[in-house]
Amino acid sequence: MIEYRKAVENDRASIEELGAEVEVICKIGVVSDYYNLIHRHNINNYYLCRVKSFGDKHLTQDEISVLRTYLM
């Protein structure tokens, strides 16, 4: 369980992109997929988390532009 907590609490997506500090409840599973156009194998880990707090999002200008395009 400690390795799961470290994996998610240090995860850039949960802190920087979502602006959330989370507590890992449990690991849900692993999904393995292939992106054939660039011959890439992805292994994705999924966790059930409880949000402890929300903070500021740290998005790039490109990410902000994309969000504005689709949300407005």
Confidence of residue 71 (pLDDT cuts 50, 70, 90): confident
Please tell me the predicted confidence (pLDDT) of residue 17: 65
Q: What pLDDT was estimated at residue 35?
A: 86
Alpha helices in 1-72 (DSSP H): 2-9, 12, 61-71
Q: How far apart are CA 48 and CA 26, in angstroms?
A: 5
Interacting residues of 62 by C-beta distance below 8 A, sequence separation 6+: none
Per residue in 21-63, pLDDT tens? 778 888 899 999 998 888 999 988 888 888 888 777 777 888 7
User: Is the Cα dihedral 9, 13, 24, 2 positive or negative?
Assistant: negative
